[in-house]
Structure 1
Amino acid sequence: MVDAAVQVRPGGRSAKVRAAVHRAVAELLAEEPAEALTIPAVAARAGVHATTVYRRWGSAAQLLNDVATSRFSGDVVVPDSGSLAGDLERWLGDVATDLADPDTLALMRATIGSGPEGGCACTGDRHEQLSAIIERERARGGHAPEVGKAVDFLLGPLYYRAIFSDQPATGEWARELVTTFLAVSRSRSAQQS
């Protein structure tokens, strides 16, 4: 039995600073254009000294990458419907819903605009999820397309629409992408056989 007088620190000062800084970034992006996001502004909003933020992250770009990596990791569950089409349709619909959130979109645009590694912070987990879906299909013995082609065909249009267009990526649109992708993939596979 654990003594009630003993208290465990739930992460200590470092975790509290990180959480406060991440929250400050999200709040500032919701209120201001991305260009207004500076280390001093984030530090002031988080209630920490700017040198603390500079010491831990170094630059606004590195801070945005950390916030994006944290935000886009594990937020969308990889479904297991028993079929590749079902898994892809549900997953892509969930990703589309996530990307439609204005706060998510603001973070993504700011991170991508901060430098070349910003895109990786916003898509790395999505690539891993898509890879897991495709590998599961292979393990079931089904036809599974290459991960790179799936990324290009499914995530490319979805992220393009989210970042550069005012057209929403609806669930129906995501399902159409999956249907078209699987049909093209099967057709190419049949031609190669």
Structure 2
Amino acid sequence: MAQQTGTARPGGRTARTRESVHAAVRELMVELPGGGITIADIATRSGVHQATIYRRWRSPNALLLDVAVNDLAARAPVPATGDLRADLTAYASRLSQELTRPGGLDFFRAIVAAAHESVEGSLELMVPRLDQFQAMLDASGTAELTPLDVFELILAPMYVRAMLPAGAWQRFADPATLVDNVLAVRDHRRS
């Protein structure tokens, strides 16, 4: 059975196990920034048996992705105030800051690594973020766009820009320009 995020009882054994394992992964990511983290390392650090970790996450990459998704959601929530321009601008600006901090591309790397093992598994962990994008679109009354539009028009260009050397394509993936692009697509689809 794959790890199901957000379905455990708050404070229950599953939640405590998940937090212990996540904490161990975060510590190991600092100690081993180049990767190479194993389930055995995580089990030793967390005190959770390897079989439990394998049963819930199936691989180190799936676990790294689960931690990355969880941490990113906490650091960069998706606003849903009803003002699409303001919500997209706030989200894109936070994402831009997040991507430029040390370790900012860890989430992207975790997705890529997990996708090599299981595209379905990595996409499953993205569902909560896509649901947050849908909530933002719903709050603004925007039926012309989908969460995948937000992904393709905001996230994809920003991640590409973050992978480029500093100074290369400086104006590429500017949050304000990307938001204007999303709104232009919405307006085009309305006409």
TM-score (norm 1): 0.70
CA–CA distance in 1 between the matches of 2:164 and 2:38? Answer: 26
Structure 1 SS opposite 2:150? helix
Q: Which amino acid aligns with 2:144?
A: P
Q: Determine which structure has more spread, i.e. the larger CA radius of gyration.
A: 1
Counterparts in 2 of 1:137 and 1:61: CA distance versus 1, 3 Å:
same
Structure 1: which 5+ residue stretches go unaligned?
A: 1-9
* CA deviation after TM superposition for structure 1 residue 48, in Å: 3.5
CA–CA distance in 1 between the matches of 2:56 and 2:83? Answer: 44
Q: Are the counterparts in 1 of residues 25 and 42 from structure 2 also a CA contact under 8 Å? A: yes
- Does residue 1:41 correspond to 2:44, yes or no? no
TM-score (norm 2): 0.70
CA–CA distance in 1 between the matches of 2:21 and 2:124? Answer: 17
Matched positions, count: 174
CA–CA distance in 1 between the matches of 2:128 and 2:66? Answer: 13
Structure 2 SS opposite 1:114? helix
Percentage of identical aligned residues? 34
Counterparts in 2 of 1:15 and 1:114: CA distance versus 1, 3 Å:
same
Counterparts in 2 of 1:49 and 1:127: CA distance versus 1, 3 Å:
closer
Residue of structure 2 equivalent to 1:102: 102
Q: Which amino acid aligns with 1:92?
A: A
CA–CA distance in 2 between the matches of 1:96 and 1:121? Answer: 24
RMSD (CA atoms): 3.2
Structure 2: which 5+ residue stretches go unaligned?
A: 1-9
Counterparts in 2 of 1:26 and 1:103: CA distance versus 1, 3 Å:
farther
Q: Are the counterparts in 2 of residues 134 and 144 from structure 1 also a CA contact under 8 Å? A: yes
Q: How does 1:1-193 map to 2 (within 5 A)?
A: 11-33=11-33, 35-73=35-73, 75=75, 76-80=77-81, 83-115=83-115, 116-117=119-120, 119-120=122-123, 123-138=126-141, 145-147=144-146, 148-162=148-162, 164-167=163-166, 173-186=174-187, 188-189=188-189, 193=191
Residue of structure 1 equivalent to 2:7: none
